[in-house]
Chains A and B, each alone.
Chain A
Amino acid sequence: MFDRDRWQEIFEAIGKNKLRTFLSGFTVALGILIFTVLLGLGNGLLNSFLSSFVDDAQNIIFIRAGRTSKAYKGFQENRKIQFENEDFEFINTNYKGKVEYSTPRIYRNGQAKYKKESGSYTIIAVNPEHQYLEKTIMMKGRYINENDIIDKTKNIAIGRLVEKDLFKNEDALGKSLDIDGIAYKIVGVFQDSGGDNEERIICMPYKTVQLLFGNNEKLDQINLTYNMAMNTEQAIAFSKQIEEDFKKKFDVAPDDQSAIRVRSFAEGIKETMVILGGIYLVIFVVGIGTLISGIIGIGNIMTFSIKERTKELGIRKALGASPRSIIAMVLQESVLITSVAGYIGLILGMLSLRLIGNNLEEFFILNPKVETGVIVVATITLIFSGLIAGYIPARRAAKIKPIIALRDE
């Protein structure tokens, strides 16, 4: 293996047969390149799916109200269902132990103004626990708290980009922000991994919104997270139970799909994971297939090369080359070509993945990457496949009879 002379022999043979070497190397490099890129894109897909869950708590359940699509119990169809504070409290009293966090939501749009800067933002009226449901991270100050709810204060928490848009380089904390003519006090600035839209949001206490806009108790939506002690099946059952209870509560037909909508990730996660596993498997199979075809390619070219070199190998044997030394020479050449070409393919693959980066985010490919472990395995596979690809031709080479190889004509 570390015989300097044999390496010299191999480098000589390679250097003087550049086309052959290039062709065999090319197939392997291409195979590895495709394998790496495919695997990276697969990982990107996985990242993208995972990040869409990471944005919100994974155990979240949304309860939304709409209009009935069926007449039921004497009510006409197309009746609007409206949640109120009482329904939110119903959740917390009825499902004690099953609910981890919960919050109502009221959506509004508002024109926010600070000095000369102004912009239109989504306003979400929330309960303090909204912070945990949305995995909101406070950059400075605090989120809406219980006292804000009880006292119906005009305290607000704003997204990072709201501060950036309106306050430029100023610190927004403690400043007063004018929204549709009413002044609010900024008590906190938050960030969210859900993307830009999730950071262009203004959060205020829900009871404040109810007081200021119509003095009612109306809610648009209720979000909650279930207790993580529940497994997926139990969680799915729990969200079904909520749906049933709410339908009963609002006299909605049990099979009405639009009046009360309860959605949880539990089912979604399970399905997505299965689909993702499928996609990953396909990518893996395609990748391995490409790799194998590359290896077969090099085996092919080595076989051809042995055929082409029959005479040379015959001469070598006549001059005293042992079968072992012929096998070692062919194997070493094959391993060298596969390793170097494979490594080039790997580097090119990683480079393309880096170039792709987050450019394919709209195709649900986020941060495509291949882990170090995979690279180590790929390298070992390369050397191993070089051995396999070279072995059959090498054995054939060793069996060459010099008398036949040297026969004239």
Chain B
Amino acid sequence: MIEIKDLHKSYQMGSNSLHVLKGIDFSVKEGELVAIMGSSGSGKSTLLNILGMLDEADTGSYFLDNVPIKGLNETKAAQYRNKFLGFVFQSFNLINYKTALENVALPLYYQRKKRKERTEKAIEYLGKVGLAEWATHLPSELSGGQKQRVAIARALAADPKVLLADEPTGALDSKTSYEVMDIIQGINDEGKTILVVTHEPDIADMCKRIVHLKDGVIVEDKKVEQVRASQYV
């Protein structure tokens, strides 16, 4: 599903050049649930941004579902993001003047789906995260965990190939974190490929594979015995 070869990325910081990714080789197969771990500054967010087409690598190749991701203009990148990827952020990033339902329906709007279909799908995915009866509420009326569940529903609504979650539990307490991880595991069980960036070991242990990043290189890549979140919920 994801094929990365010798990926390099550096940022210009004034006169200094900061080499963030120093040759990443990494592949993810369909249906995997991968945790990307590392301390801050290890390059894990940069890697996720490149995977999410929010940023572009300097050198190296990136194939997503066998499509080369290189030299995309903004319009094309937007199209690919919409088609291939679902995003879940640490700070939820819901549009605050739109209801939960409207937030979930937004990616479908950019897929030019009909209004009726958008609403139906949005309700379906809200139901999947257990928030069907909160459809008409604004984000300000939801708890942190509920917001993240709406964000997950939104990421899934466009039926992406890969779900990218950047510290999805970073802003949540541990009980709520496990609830969110339970949902993520449930989605993965249905076959969706998911990448989770986290620095919490207990969250990483709930994935099937852990990739450790340090100073811009992968120092460890191991399969783990998945801890089910449902036992804590």
A interface list, Cβ under 8 A from B: 5, 9, 12-13, 16-17, 311-312, 314-325, 398, 401-403, 406, 408
Once A17-B97, A312-B95, A325-B110 are accepted as A-B contacts, the answer to whether A318 and B90 lie under 8 Å apart by CB is no
* Supplied contacts A12-B97, A315-B93, 15 more A-B pairs, CB within 8 Å: A5-B115, A314-B93, A316-B95, A317-B78, A319-B154, A320-B82, A320-B83, A321-B110, A322-B79, A323-B78, A398-B74, A403-B49, A406-B54, A408-B89, A408-B91
Interface magnitude class on chain B: 20 to 34
Q: Is the CB of A320 within 8 A of B78?
A: yes
**Residue numbers in B under 8 Å from A320 (CB-CB):** 78-79, 81-83, 107, 110-111, 158
Cβ < 8 Å to A, chain B residues 8-52: 49, 52
Q: Is the CB of B95 within 8 A of A315?
A: yes
Q: Is the CB of A319 within 8 A of B82?
A: yes
**Residue numbers in B under 8 Å from A324 (CB-CB):** 75
**Residue numbers in B under 8 Å from A403 (CB-CB):** 49, 54-55
**Residue numbers in B under 8 Å from A406 (CB-CB):** 54, 89, 93
**Residue numbers in A under 8 Å from B106 (CB-CB):** 316, 319
B214 interface contact, C-beta 8 A: no
B interface list, Cβ under 8 A from A: 49, 52, 54-55, 74-75, 78-79, 81-83, 87, 89-91, 93-98, 102, 106-107, 109-111, 115, 154, 158
13 pairs across A/B with beta carbons < 8 Å? A312-B95, A314-B93, A315-B93, A315-B95, A318-B81, A320-B82, A321-B110, A322-B78, A323-B74, A398-B74, A403-B55, A406-B89, A408-B90
Chain B residue nearest to A403 (CB atoms) is: B54
**Residue numbers in B under 8 Å from A9 (CB-CB):** 109
Minimum C-beta distance from A397 to chain B (A): 12
Minimum C-beta distance from B62 to chain A (A): 16
**Bound-state Cα–Cα, A16 to B106, Å:** 16
Q: Is the CB of B107 within 8 A of A319?
A: yes
Q: Is the CB of A16 within 8 A of B97?
A: yes
**Residue numbers in A under 8 Å from B78 (CB-CB):** 317, 320-323
Q: Is the CB of B93 within 8 A of A12?
A: no
**Bound-state Cα–Cα, A324 to B74, Å:** 9
**Bound-state Cα–Cα, A408 to B49, Å:** 13
**Residue numbers in A under 8 Å from B82 (CB-CB):** 319-320
**Residue numbers in A under 8 Å from B54 (CB-CB):** 318, 401-403, 406
Minimum C-beta distance from A320 to chain B (A): 2
**Residue numbers in A under 8 Å from B90 (CB-CB):** 408
Once A12-B98, A312-B95, A325-B110 are accepted as A-B contacts, the answer to whether A318 and B74 lie under 8 Å apart by CB is no
**Residue numbers in B under 8 Å from A12 (CB-CB):** 97-98, 102
Chain B residue nearest to A4 (CB atoms) is: B115
**Residue numbers in B under 8 Å from A312 (CB-CB):** 95-96
Chain B residue nearest to A317 (CB atoms) is: B78
Minimum C-beta distance from B120 to chain A (A): 15
Minimum C-beta distance from A318 to chain B (A): 5
**Residue numbers in A under 8 Å from B98 (CB-CB):** 12
**Bound-state Cα–Cα, A179 to B89, Å:** 101
Chain A residue nearest to B113 (CB atoms) is: A5
